[in-house]
Structure 1
Amino acid sequence: MSVIVGRALPDARDGLKPVQRRILFAMHELGLTPERPYRKCARVVGDVLGKYHPHGDQAVYDALVRQVQIFNSRYPILDGHGNFGSIDDDPPAAMRYTETRLAPISNDAILSEIDQETVDFSPNFDGSQQEPDVLPAQLPFLILNGSTGIAVGMATSIPPHNLNEVVEALIAIIKKPSLNEEKLLEIIPGPDFPTGGEILVSNGIKETYTKGRGSITMRGIARIEEINPGKGKHKRSGIIISELPYQLNKASWIEKLADLVNNGKISGIADIRDESDRDGMRILVEVKRDSDPKKILDFLYQKTSLQSNFGAILLALVNGQPVQLTLRKLLNNFLEFRENTILLRSNYLLKNIKNREEIVEALIQATNNVRKVINLIEKSKDTSEAKSNLIISLKINERQADGILGMPLKKITGLEKNSLKNELKDLKTKRAELELIINDKENLMKVMVKELKDLKKRFGSKRRTKLIEGGDALIAEKMANQRPNKELQRINALKELSKDSEIIIQSNNEIKIIPSVTIKKLKLKESDQERKDILPAKLIWPIKNEPKILAVSQEGKIGLLKWEFAGQKPGPLKQFLPAGLENDKIINIIPLTEIRDISIGLISTDGKFKRISINEISDISNRSTTILKLKDRVKLKSCILCKENSYLYIVSNIGRIIKIKITEHDFPFMGKLAQGTNIIKLFPNENIVEALSFQEKKNKDLILITNKGSFVKHSTKEITISKKGALGTMGMHFKDNKTIKERVIDCFINNKHVYIKTDKDRYQKLKTDQIDNSSYRKENRLNIKLNNDEFLKSTFSMKVPEEN
Structure 2
Amino acid sequence: MMQEQIIRTDYAEVMQKSYVDYAMSVIISRALPDIRDGLKPVQRRTLYDMYELAIRYDKPYRKCARIVGDTMGKYHPHGDSSIYDALVVMAQDFKKGMPLVDGHGNFGSIEGDGAAAMRYTEARLQKVTQEVFLADLDKDVVDFMPNFDETEKEPTVLPVRLPNFLVNGSDGIAVGMVTSTPPHNLGEVIDAVKAYMKNDKLTTADLMQYIQGPDFPTGGIVTNKDELLNIYETGSGKIKLRGRVEVEQDKGGKLRLVITEIPYTMIGANIGKFLNDVYALVESKKTTDIIDISNQSSKEGIRIVLELKKQTDVDNLLALLYKKTRLEDTFSVNMLAIADGRPETLGLKNIIEYFLDFQYDLTTRKYQKLLAKELEKQEIQEGLMRATDIIDLIIEILRGSKNIKQAKACLMTGTTEGIRFKSNASERAASALDFTERQATAILEMRLYKLIGLEMDALLKDHDATLKNIASYKDILENHKSMSRVISHDLDMIKKTYATPRKTSIENVGAAVYEEKKAEAMEVVALIDRFGYAKTIDKATFERNKEAALSESKYVISCMNTDKACIFTDTGRLHLIKITDIPFGRFRDKSIPLDNLGNYDSSGENIIHICSLASIQDSMMLFATRTGMLKLVKGSEFDVSKRTVAATKLADGDSIIAICTADNFNQLVLQTENGYFIRFPMMNIPEMKKTAIGVRGISLGSGDSVKAAYPLDSSQECTIIHNEKELLLNKLKLVNRGGKGTKVRV
- Same-fold status (TM-score > 0.5): yes
Q: 1:384 is matched with which residue: 405, 410, 413?
A: 405
Q: 2:248 is matched with which residue: 206, 225, 240?
A: 225
Residue identity in the other structure for 1:186 = Q
- Separation (CA, whole Å) in 1 of partners of 2:294 and 2:447: 73
- Separation (CA, whole Å) in 2 of partners of 1:387 and 1:89: 70
**TM-superposition CA deviations, 1:451-496 (whole Å, max 9, x none):** 111111111111111112x23xx23x46x889x9xxxxxxxxxxxx
Residue identity in the other structure for 1:2 = S
- Separation (CA, whole Å) in 1 of partners of 2:166 and 2:471: 35
Please tell me whether the aligned partners of residues 31 and 174 of structure 2 are also in contact (alpha carbons under 8 angstroms): yes
Question: What SS does the aligned partner of 1:25 have?
Answer: helix
**TM-superposition CA deviations, 1:13-69 (whole Å, max 9, x none):** 000000010011111111112111111111111111010000000100000000000
Q: 1:396 is matched with which residue: 432, 435, 438?
A: 435
Instruction: Provide the residue aligned with 1:418 in structure 2.
Output: 457
**TM-superposition CA deviations, 1:339-377 (whole Å, max 9, x none):** 111011110100111111111111222223222222222
Please tell me whether the aligned partners of residues 238 and 333 of structure 2 are also in contact (alpha carbons under 8 angstroms): yes
- Separation (CA, whole Å) in 1 of partners of 2:515 and 2:405: 90
Question: What SS does the aligned partner of 1:73 have?
Answer: coil
Residue identity in the other structure for 1:446 = R
- Separation (CA, whole Å) in 2 of partners of 1:138 and 1:279: 31
Please tell me whether the aligned partners of residues 92 and 107 of structure 2 are also in contact (alpha carbons under 8 angstroms): yes
**TM-superposition CA deviations, 1:666-697 (whole Å, max 9, x none):** xxxxxxxxxxxxxxxxxxxxxxxxxxxxxxxx
Residues 346-745 of structure 1 mapped to structure 2, 5 A cutoff? 346-391=367-412, 392=414, 393=430, 394-468=433-507, 470-471=508-509, 474-475=510-511, 477=512
Are residues 1:125 and 2:151 paired? no
Q: 2:256 is matched with which residue: 232, 238, 250?
A: 238
- How far the C-alpha of 1:290 sits from its partner, in A, is 4.9
Question: What SS does the aligned partner of 1:115 have?
Answer: helix
Question: What SS does the aligned partner of 1:238 have?
Answer: strand
Residues 29-40 of structure 1 mapped to structure 2, 5 A cutoff? 29-40=52-63
Distance 1:254 1:367, change over 3 A: farther
**TM-superposition CA deviations, 1:87-128 (whole Å, max 9, x none):** 011111111111111111111111111111111110000000
Instruction: Provide the residue aligned with 1:99 in structure 2.
Output: 122
- Separation (CA, whole Å) in 2 of partners of 1:247 and 1:377: 76
Instruction: Provide the residue aligned with 1:9 in structure 2.
Output: 32
Question: What SS does the aligned partner of 1:68 have?
Answer: coil
Question: What SS does the aligned partner of 1:285 have?
Answer: strand
Instruction: Provide the residue aligned with 2:275 in structure 1.
Output: 254
Question: What SS does the aligned partner of 1:10 have?
Answer: coil
Are residues 1:273 and 2:294 paired? yes
Are residues 1:344 and 2:365 paired? yes
Instruction: Provide the residue aligned with 1:616 in structure 2.
Output: none
Instruction: Provide the residue aligned with 2:729 in structure 1.
Output: none
Instruction: Provide the residue aligned with 2:529 in structure 1.
Output: none
Instruction: Give the root-mean-square deviation of aligned CA atoms.
Output: 1.9
- Separation (CA, whole Å) in 2 of partners of 1:380 and 1:201: 84
Q: 1:172 is matched with which residue: 179, 195, 201?
A: 195
Instruction: Provide the residue aligned with 1:287 in structure 2.
Output: 308
Residue identity in the other structure for 1:73 = K
Residue identity in the other structure for 2:376 = N
- Separation (CA, whole Å) in 2 of partners of 1:344 and 1:32: 26
Are residues 1:116 and 2:146 paired? no
- Separation (CA, whole Å) in 2 of partners of 1:55 and 1:260: 45
- How far the C-alpha of 1:235 sits from its partner, in A, is 4.1
- Separation (CA, whole Å) in 1 of partners of 2:56 and 2:393: 47
- How far the C-alpha of 1:383 sits from its partner, in A, is 2.0
Instruction: Provide the residue aligned with 1:83 in structure 2.
Output: 106
Are residues 1:304 and 2:325 paired? yes
- How far the C-alpha of 1:256 sits from its partner, in A, is 3.0
Q: Which runs of 5+ in 2 are unaligned?
A: 1-23, 415-429, 519-598, 600-641, 644-746
Please tell me whether the aligned partners of residues 204 and 348 of structure 2 are also in contact (alpha carbons under 8 angstroms): no
- How far the C-alpha of 1:202 sits from its partner, in A, is 3.3
- Separation (CA, whole Å) in 2 of partners of 1:252 and 1:85: 18
Instruction: Provide the residue aligned with 1:613 in structure 2.
Output: none
Residue identity in the other structure for 1:151 = A
**TM-superposition CA deviations, 1:431-468 (whole Å, max 9, x none):** 00110111111111111111111111111111111112
Question: What SS does the aligned partner of 2:180 have?
Answer: strand
Structure 1 residues 396-405 or 372-381, which shifts more? 372-381
Distance 1:385 1:306, change over 3 A: same
- Separation (CA, whole Å) in 1 of partners of 2:313 and 2:98: 40
Residue identity in the other structure for 2:258 = I
Distance 1:401 1:107, change over 3 A: same
- Separation (CA, whole Å) in 1 of partners of 2:40 and 2:506: 30
- How far the C-alpha of 1:410 sits from its partner, in A, is 2.2
- How far the C-alpha of 1:328 sits from its partner, in A, is 0.2
- Separation (CA, whole Å) in 1 of partners of 2:395 and 2:120: 60
Residue identity in the other structure for 2:397 = L
Residue identity in the other structure for 2:157 = V
Residue identity in the other structure for 1:29 = E
Q: 1:208 is matched with which residue: 213, 219, 231?
A: 231
- Separation (CA, whole Å) in 2 of partners of 1:310 and 1:273: 26
**TM-superposition CA deviations, 1:616-660 (whole Å, max 9, x none):** xxxxxx99xxxxxxxxxxxxxxxxxxxxxxxxxxxxxxxxxxxxx
- Separation (CA, whole Å) in 2 of partners of 1:107 and 1:252: 38
Are residues 1:321 and 2:342 paired? yes
Residue identity in the other structure for 1:83 = N
- Separation (CA, whole Å) in 2 of partners of 1:256 and 1:388: 87
- Separation (CA, whole Å) in 2 of partners of 1:139 and 1:481: 48
Question: What SS does the aligned partner of 1:119 have?
Answer: coil
Instruction: Provide the residue aligned with 1:788 in structure 2.
Output: none
Question: What SS does the aligned partner of 1:171 have?
Answer: helix
Question: What SS does the aligned partner of 1:216 have?
Answer: strand
Please tell me whether the aligned partners of residues 238 and 293 of structure 1 are also in contact (alpha carbons under 8 angstroms): no
Residue identity in the other structure for 1:49 = M
Residue identity in the other structure for 2:28 = V
- Separation (CA, whole Å) in 2 of partners of 1:65 and 1:144: 18
Report which of the two structures shows the higher radius of gyration computed on alpha carbons. 2
Question: What SS does the aligned partner of 1:187 have?
Answer: coil
- How far the C-alpha of 1:300 sits from its partner, in A, is 1.3
- Separation (CA, whole Å) in 2 of partners of 1:280 and 1:325: 34
Instruction: Provide the residue aligned with 1:72 in structure 2.
Output: 95
- Separation (CA, whole Å) in 2 of partners of 1:390 and 1:420: 21
- How far the C-alpha of 1:412 sits from its partner, in A, is 1.6
Residues 747-786 of structure 1 mapped to structure 2, 5 A cutoff? none
Instruction: Provide the residue aligned with 1:615 in structure 2.
Output: none
Identity %: 41
Please tell me whether the aligned partners of residues 239 and 332 of structure 2 are also in contact (alpha carbons under 8 angstroms): yes
- Separation (CA, whole Å) in 2 of partners of 1:289 and 1:185: 43
Structure 1 residues 433-442 or 248-257, which shifts more? 248-257
